[in-house]
Amino acid sequence: MKKTFLFVCIENSNRSQMAQAFAKIWGGDAVEAYSAGSKPSGKINPKAIAAMAELGYDLAKHQSKSLKEIPDITFDYVVTMGCGDACPWVPAKQRIDWQIPDPREMDAGEFNQVRDLISAQVEKLVLG
């Protein structure tokens, strides 16, 4: 049975999108990964698309979604990233909060540092 992951941030345009991508990269067919935002922007940040393209992943195929658009299931893991009180409750066997800075306004070098932090956190969680 696949492990299910939901990654949540505010806009669903940077952090949670990259985390979803890394869950697919690290977990392959053994995981089902979703991402959503408490206040989705409706678009993926071009910086996130560029940062993931450097690693050979096409984030442009993702869509920014709200929590209302995710499956109504109990997830194995729900990981929140900096949405604080704006993150509504989602059924999960395990809830985790990662304090990851929002890279939206960062330059490419800093943005990639956040990307790599997310990659390491997701790898540890998925392959744990």
Q: Work out the burial of residue 65: count CB atoms within 10 Å of its CB; fewer than 13 is exposed, 13-18 middle, 19 or more buried.
A: middle
End-to-end CA distance of the chain: 17
DSSP symbol at 60 = G
CATH number for region 3-127: 3.40.50.2300
Average pLDDT per 10 consecutive residues for the chain, totaling 128 residues: 93 95 97 93 95 97 93 95 71 93 94 98 95
Helix axes 108-127, 46-53, angle to 10 degrees: 70
Q: Which residues are catalytic?
A: 9, 83, 87
In this predicted structure, what is the pLDDT of residue 86? Answer: 64
Q: Tell me the pLDDT tens digit for each residue of 15-31.
A: 999 999 999 999 999 99
Please count the other Cβ atoms lying within 10 Å of the Cβ belonging to residue 39: 12
pTM score: 0.95
Calculate the CA 65 to chain-centre distance: 11
